[in-house]
Structure 1
Amino acid sequence: MTANENAAVYFVDRHVAEGRGGNVAFREAAGKRRDLTYGRLAERSDLVAGGLERLGIHPEQRIACLVLDQIEYPELFWGALKAQVVPIALNTLLTAETYDFILRDSRAVALFVSAELYDVVQPVLANNPVLRQVVVIGDTVPEGALSWDAMLSGASPRKAATVGEDECAFWLYSSGSTGQPKGVRHVHGALKATADTYGAQVLGIREDDVVYSVAKIFFAYGLGNAMTFPMSVGATTVLFHGRPLPEVAAGIIRDEKPSIFCGVPTLYAAMVHWLEKNGVPEHCLRCCISAGEALPEEVGRAWGKLWGGDILDGVGSTEMLHIFLSNRPGDVVYGTSGVAVPGYDLRCVDEEGTEIKPGGVGELLVRGASAAEGYWNKRSKSRTTFEGEWTRTGDKYEITEAGRFVYCGRTDDMFKVSGIWVSPFEVEQALVSHPGVLEAAVVPFRDADDLEKPKAFVVLKDGTEPAAVTAELKEFVKAKVGAWKYPRWVEVLDDLPKTATGKIQRFKLRGRAPCDDLHAADTKNAQKEGAA
């Protein structure tokens, strides 16, 4: 008899069969402070599978999930997998226009939405040609929608459908930072592949762990942190659906006592700044990880001094589902992304596809079992990204003689100055190592001779005077990384444009003209300096 490789059997039902049904799988950190055991999750996901069948939603049809990080999310996700229905995890911070695009592009037949998010998506629902049902999770249910409780009321529990590991399980939509988001299709076996590799062999996840991820479930990084890894061993996840401000995240670490904290570089930088002024709370952390964007070396070192432990900086992608390149416990080298996670193969190639030697810079390609099946309705893009067993990441890396990978930037962010490649990330790391700088972004900007030079946008720490620091930063970077790499212009902003997952959107800064007298003076000076 063929084994059922439905991921819900492994991540949910297995724990009941093996005696872990009483373990708390999820607990909420705010509001009602509800919790959900593995036994209860098995029952509720069976009921959700029956509820989907009752609504007339058939296997392989798609449902859109615009849901906050709350107890109902794992019930819905795993229940859909049991019904062989394909859940699509949607970013909760998008515009109505983007939701309209995704709903039409995916042809989802139903939308499950938290009551708090309904008003954002409501304007685009009436004219959708495919959407048949809207189910609202919460106390307030608008006219024409069905409540979550009503959907489940009277439904007959249904056990997990028998599927193979290569059948499509769920979709994620890419961040769309440079265009419309793309539907990324993942199979059942990919979830276990990430747990068996990064979860087991780098994170070392244990049954007694409590995990808190600031990245939400809709994000590939958050899905692994909050569901796949803890649920692979019967551990507990702390759910929080609000904004992870530094003081809020510190409070959750203090009150909920997670042993694993999963952050992003933007938040780590903000927390370091906040904690230096307010102190480090009592905690039970044994491991901190980071992904989403490369972690600045200065931020990692400052965090270590405050908390007494390292951040394991790693690299993953929506296409690969989670981290495939990472630093490891006891083997952290800040300023690098580490080495390949066991189970993955990596190589860097130049523009001609030739593998680079140590010291060179090339695009990173990765091979591993968690790779996506492809993009939905994007055949040309699928063919250029997924090359047989290899997936192009779009990231430029240098490989050191020791075999570690050093992030240089996105392929479309790199640029040349005086014929030499410049990594925006390298210049940004130098900038944030200045005591007055909180965040930085570097993009190419054309001078009076139509030549590209680095331009920096910085967010300053409280109490730092912009006029005093801009000129100082140029000399500071020169001394750190080289004379030709320093920013010819420095502009101070209140915030940098970012995606919902914390990645800096450098494309929104390109071509931005200097905006005041201070920056105009910077422009004149840069023109005088020419190709220096």
Structure 2
Amino acid sequence: MDTSDSNVVPQPLQLLLEQASAKSPQKIAIRVEGVELSYFKLHHWVRNVAAALVSSGIEKTDRVAWLLPNCLEALALTCACYCVGAVSVPINVRYSPKEVSYMVEKVKAKMLFLQPDALHVIPDLSLMLEVVTVGSEMVHPHTSWSDFEQRQGPITVRPVQSSHPALILFTSGSTGHPKGVLHSLGGCWAAINTSAKALGLGNEDVVLVGKPITHAGGLQTQLLPALMVGGEVVLAMTPPPAQAVELIQRFCVTSYAMLVSSLLDFVEHLERSQETLTSLRRVVGSGDCVPLELQSRFLQLFGRPVLEGCGITEIGGYFAMQPIGKEKPGSIGLPTAGTEVRLVDDEGNDVPSGFPGEVLLRTPSAALGYWDDPHASAELFQDGWLRTGDVAQRDEDGYIWFIGRRKLIIIRRGSNIAPAAVERVLVMHPQVRSSVVVGVPDKDDGQVPVAWIVAQDSQHPPTQAMLEEHVSKHLAVYERPVHYWFRAELPLNSVGKFDRAFLQNEAKHKQQWTCSQLAGA
């Protein structure tokens, strides 16, 4: 152990695997693609990777980037970075080469780990950094993972303060470049601990991780919380429903979290296949609101509600979660342990129950700010409270009801329209499978809502008249979409959520074309 500063002791996150290994060394920690590692073997491997990082010249606060799918090497690199005081920079494999280059150069990474089929991003990099290829032998002139692992050095934990930088998670904003959200070791630990408590995880749990661990949803609400409590992890990469079911049945999975788009596919598969999942005790839907119709179908299958969780990259996990056994379908639940929530109006005044307001948070897992972006970092906080950009309202029991993203709110002649509220109504129609509502400019109304629809049966989609009759029963006139456009599927962004920015841009072009055609007529 590095004892250069005798006043600093290792942080809990630096010792996560050491403690689990000491308690249950032979217990299976993780399974992935036919490989399984005990807590002892995983801990030993992470220490060797940490030693290799040190031997590669990685110092405290150096950034180590990795462009990898969910795999053992990605986990080992992240934990090893924590141990030696380096900053882990996960990058989703779905990002474009230009986006990857921007991120790697933005953080001035000292090393980059990637698979050989991703080497095409290298020509765009202007930085001089060591590239390590994972999953094959050396690709000249780069270093192979096996050669990297052979680098000898002291197996060390470098003690640091809890405020020490540990993790940069990139957000995919609707405009401009992604921002790097910087988290501390203490903040990461708080997010992981919060997730474990909210989900009621224990050492008997088997957690299927099917979200990318390049994002908080996979890394800090699923993977690391399971390891923290000494549970077992089954690591996959957004498995299709049939594969997820097979993994759940084979390994007796007890907990599984999905984005809403995946949850819909999962439920539809189970409805068709009639398969039973007796071990599965909790399922979490997140990323977008879980439609009430989908919640009802889930309840019929499992006999209990799907849990909804709401979180943002800037706090590295959940700020609200349905309390197990006390769920209120349609809400996102209560604030998570240790999280303070305020709802405020445009002047920063607290709003009463039943009224919408922007969500402000105060939590130990709050980010330090945005990497190398002091202006955006300053705007993130308001008098010590983190601004989420989410709009919600609270009921008399303290449950939070998500309305939408502030920047996505559609303002039509001065009236606010929450896309999520319109989407909830649309998916109640029996012929609608899923929908995304976006706003487009309008010369008379300022903005108007339009709806992208995926039909249950593409050969027999609902007509515009049928949809208009349906929404008229549930929505005010100003809330109703002016157009209903159909797609075979809704595109997903790099995180796996519905790509609203893409759909909004496409809607603008389609609206302009429609208006020009009408003008020409």
Short-chain TM bin: over 0.9
Equivalent of 1:314 in 309, 314, 331: 309
State the Cα deviation string for residues 49-97 of structure 1 (Å, max 9, x = none): 1111221222211110112211222211111221222110111111101
SS at match of 1:64: strand
State the Cα deviation string for residues 149-190 of structure 1 (Å, max 9, x = none): 111114134121111211111211112343211111111112
SS at match of 1:300: helix
Aligned length, in residue pairs: 510
SS at match of 2:288: coil
User: Aligned partners of 1:409, 1:458: CA distance in 2, in Å?
Assistant: 19
**Residue of structure 2 in register with 1:176 after alignment:** 173
1:484/1:72 Cα in 2 relative to 1: closer, same or farther (>3 Å)? same
2:486 is equivalent to residue 492 of structure 1? yes
Describe how 1:355-374 pairs up with structure 2 within 5 A. 355-374=350-369
User: Aligned partners of 2:272, 2:368: CA distance in 1, in Å?
Assistant: 47
**Residue of structure 2 in register with 1:81 after alignment:** 82
1:99/1:7 Cα in 2 relative to 1: closer, same or farther (>3 Å)? farther
1:8 CA drift (Å):
4.2
User: Aligned partners of 2:404, 2:383: CA distance in 1, in Å?
Assistant: 24
Read off the aligned partner of 2:10 and give its amino acid letter: E
User: Aligned partners of 2:373, 2:201: CA distance in 1, in Å?
Assistant: 36
**Residue of structure 1 in register with 2:203 after alignment:** 207
Read off the aligned partner of 1:81 and give its amino acid letter: Y
Q: Answer whether contact 1:83 1:158 (CA < 8 A) is retained.
A: no
State the Cα deviation string for residues 396-429 of structure 1 (Å, max 9, x = none): 1122233221111111111233533211100001
**Residue of structure 1 in register with 2:161 after alignment:** 164
1:135/1:393 Cα in 2 relative to 1: closer, same or farther (>3 Å)? same
User: Aligned partners of 2:90, 2:214: CA distance in 1, in Å?
Assistant: 5
**Residue of structure 2 in register with 1:529 after alignment:** none
**Residue of structure 2 in register with 1:112 after alignment:** 113
1:120 CA drift (Å):
4.2
User: Aligned partners of 1:388, 1:58: CA distance in 2, in Å?
Assistant: 34
CA RMSD of aligned residues (A): 2.2
Question: 5+ residue gaps in structure 1?
Answer: 525-532
SS at match of 1:266: helix
1:39 CA drift (Å):
0.9
User: Aligned partners of 2:142, 2:509: CA distance in 1, in Å?
Assistant: 49
Equivalent of 2:188 in 180, 188, 191: 191
**Residue of structure 2 in register with 1:22 after alignment:** 26
**Residue of structure 2 in register with 1:217 after alignment:** 213
User: Aligned partners of 1:153, 1:181: CA distance in 2, in Å?
Assistant: 35
Question: 5+ residue gaps in structure 2?
Answer: 1-5
What is the TM-score with the length of structure 1 in the denominator?
0.90
Read off the aligned partner of 1:210 and give its amino acid letter: V
Read off the aligned partner of 2:160 and give its amino acid letter: V
2:266 is equivalent to residue 271 of structure 1? yes
**Residue of structure 2 in register with 1:60 after alignment:** 61
User: Aligned partners of 2:431, 2:71: CA distance in 1, in Å?
Assistant: 38
Equivalent of 1:146 in 126, 129, 143: 143
User: Aligned partners of 1:491, 1:233: CA distance in 2, in Å?
Assistant: 47
**Residue of structure 1 in register with 2:320 after alignment:** 325
2:231 is equivalent to residue 235 of structure 1? yes
SS at match of 1:480: coil
2:1 is equivalent to residue 5 of structure 1? no
Describe how 1:513-524 pairs up with structure 2 within 5 A. none
User: Aligned partners of 2:73, 2:13: CA distance in 1, in Å?
Assistant: 15
State the Cα deviation string for residues 231-257 of structure 1 (Å, max 9, x = none): 11111111113x432333223223332
User: Aligned partners of 2:90, 2:242: CA distance in 1, in Å?
Assistant: 27
1:289/1:452 Cα in 2 relative to 1: closer, same or farther (>3 Å)? same
Q: Answer whether contact 1:46 1:157 (CA < 8 A) is retained.
A: no
SS at match of 1:324: strand
* More divergent stretch after superposition (456-465 vs 54-63): 456-465
2:436 is equivalent to residue 431 of structure 1? no
User: Aligned partners of 1:255, 1:124: CA distance in 2, in Å?
Assistant: 43
* More divergent stretch after superposition (83-92 vs 367-376): 83-92
Q: Answer whether contact 1:259 1:285 (CA < 8 A) is retained.
A: yes
**Residue of structure 2 in register with 1:303 after alignment:** 298
1:450 CA drift (Å):
4.6
What is the TM-score with the length of structure 2 in the denominator?
0.92
**Residue of structure 2 in register with 1:129 after alignment:** 127
SS at match of 1:473: helix
2:390 is equivalent to residue 392 of structure 1? no
SS at match of 1:355: coil
SS at match of 1:63: strand
SS at match of 2:402: strand
SS at match of 1:79: helix
Q: Answer whether contact 1:7 1:191 (CA < 8 A) is retained.
A: no
1:515/1:411 Cα in 2 relative to 1: closer, same or farther (>3 Å)? closer
SS at match of 2:423: helix
1:386 CA drift (Å):
2.2
Q: Answer whether contact 1:478 1:484 (CA < 8 A) is retained.
A: no
2:410 is equivalent to residue 415 of structure 1? yes
Q: Answer whether contact 1:358 1:401 (CA < 8 A) is retained.
A: yes
Q: Answer whether contact 1:198 1:342 (CA < 8 A) is retained.
A: no
**Residue of structure 1 in register with 2:337 after alignment:** 342
1:361 CA drift (Å):
1.4
Describe how 1:378-389 pairs up with structure 2 within 5 A. 378-389=373-384
1:7 CA drift (Å):
4.0
SS at match of 2:283: strand
User: Aligned partners of 1:225, 1:356: CA distance in 2, in Å?
Assistant: 30
State the Cα deviation string for residues 263-293 of structure 1 (Å, max 9, x = none): 1111111222232222234341011112222
User: Aligned partners of 2:410, 2:337: CA distance in 1, in Å?
Assistant: 32
* More divergent stretch after superposition (318-327 vs 172-181): 172-181
1:328 CA drift (Å):
1.3
SS at match of 1:93: coil
SS at match of 1:409: strand
User: Aligned partners of 1:137, 1:513: CA distance in 2, in Å?
Assistant: 42
Q: Answer whether contact 2:357 2:392 (CA < 8 A) is retained.
A: yes
State the Cα deviation string for residues 485-525 of structure 1 (Å, max 9, x = none): 22121000122233222322323333625859xx969x98x
Q: Answer whether contact 2:55 2:151 (CA < 8 A) is retained.
A: no
Report the identity percentage: 28
